[in-house]
Amino acid sequence: MFEDIPMKPCLLSGLALAALLTPAEVLAQDSRTDVIIITGAPDMTQTDARIAPETLPVEGVDVTAIIARTPGAARIANGALSGQMQYRGLFGERLNLRVNGQKFASGGPNLMDPVFHYAPSVLTRAIRIDRGVSPVSEGPGLGGGADAQLKRVNYGTGEAFGLAHDVTLQARSIDDSVALGGVVGVSNEDWRFHVIGASEEGSDTEFPGGVIAGSAFERDVYGFAIGHRNDLGEISLDVRRQNTGPSGNPPFPMDIRFFDGDFVSLGYEGEWGGIGVRSALFASDIAHGMNNFSLRPAPMDMQQRETFADASTRGATFAAVVPSFGGELTLGLDVVGNTHNVTITNPNHAGFMLRAIPDAAMDRAGGFAQWGGRARGFDIEAGLRLDRHGFEAGPAATGPAVPAGPAMLAASFSAGQRAGEEITTDLALRIARPAANGLVWRGVLARKQAMPSYLQRFGWLPTNASGGLADGNIYVGDFNLKPETALIAEIGFDYRANKAYLRPTLFIREIDDFIQGIAFDSTPGVINSPVEMIAAMNGDATPLRFANVDARLTGFDVDAGYDFAGPWRVDAVISHVEGERRDIDDALYRMAPLRIAAGLTFEQLHWSATLEAVSISAQDRVSVTNSEVASEAYMVVNLFGRWQINERIEMMFGIENVADTEYRDHLSGYNRNGAGDAGLGERLPGAGRGAFARIRLKG
């Protein structure tokens, strides 16, 4: 009754193999997508081998920790609930990220709520990663993308209604966290209905040197979904509310006080005279509050800040799938509009108010054509999309207690040009040689564009908000930014044999007009402008402004495994990326260091045990522009096991960081929370040794 993604027969054995480090390998449906099934139903029969997905260890409640285990991926750790996916060097709003296929604007200007903040791991059934680049049918986006698909109750068989549930409970000792979430519902062949809910709570994370202050979190989700299908097609409605409570963000100057988000989507899928039709209407509203005094030592009254932000998204998509030229031609139209507000206040002084982002409205209307099929002995997916973007902001405003400097900047922003438009064009071509002797050669050629974010364009007030860069710099935007343009080439192969698999990929992305902070003016450090004056007063005498530069990302990643005779198996994932500026001699900021993970698994029919070593290299190719500090190499060892008690109950338990190694992840940001033991200004440490367990009930 639960929906599963159809999978190819398992490659390594007839059993439901858990590719512990490399779930993507066994699950890949084809050469275009990586699918991580988190809660897919494991099927243990000899003929239909699917993955026992819950074999992935518990590393928090954030799904980006799971995503980081796939080739080319990493996690930008800005807080327990604020992890950003990095994929082949790209992160933030450059990736095309969705939850249940729905795109929406994050509520916070510093991406305290990246898209996957809205996909708690206990509610997530599968994560589908667009390998290399997203197809143009999924909208614009500079590189790859991912869709987190939440648990659901699918249609049943017959007229009688049946009850179904899929619930996960997990706990982790290192942050005393408990997370419970799942779906319960009823369905028959024509109707499905479920309620969805999750509740998660954790305390501050411990590391070998003590406790990381401000790393606690709490989050609740509830909602429902209903679906009906008949001769005219299927119609579905999904409604979800998420309330995030006080949750820390040590690398940011503030912590989450709340995110209140509402999500609605109405979908239709059907077939009309041989033409497939897909359509959706969707909306989201997110309200956010953050401050610098609830979860960290409070500064003096005058320095206390509470910032309120909101974002809303309204959109519609329509696509028709027409058989043509021996394949399928998809034609689509989509429109989406976002609005953003950010208001900074001091709770002790009513007159202190700054409308840092005043009614920034970003809209897009696009169309695409995409053909997929086999031609001249190759599997091909070729797509073209065009988007027209409009952007506009309201006038800025400041309260009476705000100093003259910011008030002046606000006035000049309000007097300047605040609206414009742009056209972007995306082209994507994927080619794969159909499998021969288990070998699939594949390649990607693409040109992708991405618009500047509302913050990069309309950020008139020098602040720390930067879409989650967490480099400590103060940034201002630039109205005249151009879209980023990437030329992308990738080549690789997928090899699968009875006992082994190997999937290497080489990639290069040349990105023109890459948006990056650069020195505010030609005399950095000399305070001769209002922006530098305000930035200096706020602790950064050398603010950066977002600008178009030229960049290049190159790298490779691979996953591989071998199944020995008997119960032993090894799996490994290697990810490597280098990011550099092409216009000056500097590295790109916050690039994942070389990561090599390898696991040795002892596997039996109903249980398995894995010893895993994750080795991270030193990162000394750092961005001078972003004042990035180099980091040291380390290795972490994890031990975990899985036990399939019966068809309805599955358990997972283990020990993370067995050696209690103290390490500082290059991507974790610098600590700005003065309480606790992590050290102000130092890179945030990783979790120490702890136990975890997860149980999943399904039926």
Scanning 101-109, 122-130, 370-378, 400-408 for contacts with Cu ion by CB under 5 A, the matching segment is 101-109
Contact, 663 vs 615, CB < 8 A?
Answer: no
Closer to Cu ion by Cβ: residue 131 or 257: 257
Closest separation in Å from C-beta 284 to Cu ion: 17
Residue 321 or 474 having the CB closest to Cu ion: 474
Query: Contact at 8 Å (CB) between 96 and 128?
Result: no
Site string for Cu ion, 372-391 (x = CB under 5 A): --------------------
Give the residue with the Cβ less far from Cu ion, 256 or 547: 256
Q: Indicate the helix (H) or strand (E) that contains 517.
A: strand 500-519
Piece of 71-79, 186-194, 282-290, 398-406 that binds Cu ion (CB under 5 A): 282-290
Nearest distance, CB of residue 289 and Cu ion, angstroms: 8
Question: Is 251 near Cu ion (CB under 5 A)?
Answer: no
DSSP secondary structure letter of residue 650? E
| Token pair belonging to 417 | 């040009």
Alpha carbons 590 and 581: distance in angstroms, whole number: 13
Q: State the nearest-atom distance from the C-beta of 73 to Cu ion, in Å.
A: 24
Burial of 142 (0-12, 13-18, 19+ CB in 10 A): buried
Which is nearer to Cu ion, 150 or 455 (by Cβ)? 455
Output 108 or 315, the one with its CB closest to Cu ion: 108
9: exposed, middle or buried (Cβ count in 10 Å: 0-12, 13-18, 19+): exposed
Residue 668 Cβ vs Cu ion, minimum distance, rounded to whole Å: 18
Token reading at 444: 């990607």
Contact 446, 426 (CB under 8 A): yes
342 part of the interface to Cu ion, by CB under 5 A: no
Least distance (Å) from Cu ion to the CB of residue 142?
23
> Judged by CB under 5 A, how many residues of this single chain contact Cu ion?
3
Helix (H, G, I), strand (E, B) or coil at 684: coil
Closest CA to 667 of 61, 95, 56, 68: 68
Does position 465 bind Cu ion by CB under 5 A? no
State which residue, 112 or 587, has the beta carbon closest to Cu ion. 112
Angle, alpha carbons 76-81-82 (nearest 5°): 35
Among 107-115, 120-128, 270-278, 381-389, the segment contacting Cu ion (CB under 5 A): 107-115
Indicate if the alpha-carbon torsion angle 640, 641, 647, 648 is positive or negative: negative
Contact segment (CB under 5 A) with Cu ion among 40-48, 137-145, 290-298, 355-363 equals: 290-298
Picking from 684, 693, 694, the residue whose alpha carbon sits closest to that of residue 206 is 684
Smallest gap from residue 543 Cβ to Cu ion (A): 20
Nearer to Cu ion, 112 or 167 (CB): 112
Which residue, 125 or 288, is less far from Cu ion as judged by CB?
A: 288
Q: Contact region for Cu ion (CB under 5 A) — 3-11, 108-116, 454-462, 475-483?
A: 108-116
Which tokens go with 139? 């909208």
Which residues lie closer than 8 Å to 44 by C-beta, 6 or more apart? 15, 16, 605, 644, 647
User: Least separation, in Å, of the C-beta of 107 and Cu ion?
Assistant: 8
Listed ranges 150-158, 285-293, 524-532, 578-586: which one lies at the site for Cu ion (CB under 5 A): 285-293
441 residue type, one letter? W
Give whichever of 188 and 343 is closer to Cu ion, judged by the CB atom. 343
Tell me which of 97, 112, 515, 535 binds Cu ion, using CB under 5 A. 112
Q: Which of 51, 136, 216, 290 binds Cu ion (CB under 5 A)?
A: 290
- Supply 512's token pair: 């023109």
User: CA angle 122-125-128, nearest 5°?
Assistant: 125
Part of the chain binding Cu ion (CB under 5 A), chosen from 30-38, 110-118, 363-371, 583-591:
110-118
User: Please, which residue, 313 or 464, has the CB nearer to Cu ion?
Assistant: 464
CB of 254 to Cu ion, least distance (A): 6
Query: Which of 305/581 has CB closer to Cu ion?
Result: 305
**Crossing angle for the helix pair 530-537 and 404-415, nearest 10 degrees?**
140
Taking CB under 5 A as the criterion, the residue among 71, 108, 143, 383 binding Cu ion is 108
Burial of 160 (0-12, 13-18, 19+ CB in 10 A): exposed
Please say which residue, 357 or 450, places its beta carbon nearer to Cu ion: 357
Q: Quick count: other Cβ atoms within 10 Å of Cβ 187?
A: 22
Residue 97 in contact with residue 67, Cβ under 8 Å?
A: no
CB 305 → Cu ion: shortest distance, Å? 11
Q: Least distance (Å) from Cu ion to the CB of residue 213?
A: 18
Backbone angles phi, psi at 455, to 5 degrees: -70, -45
What is the binding site for Cu ion (CB under 5 A)?
108, 112, 290
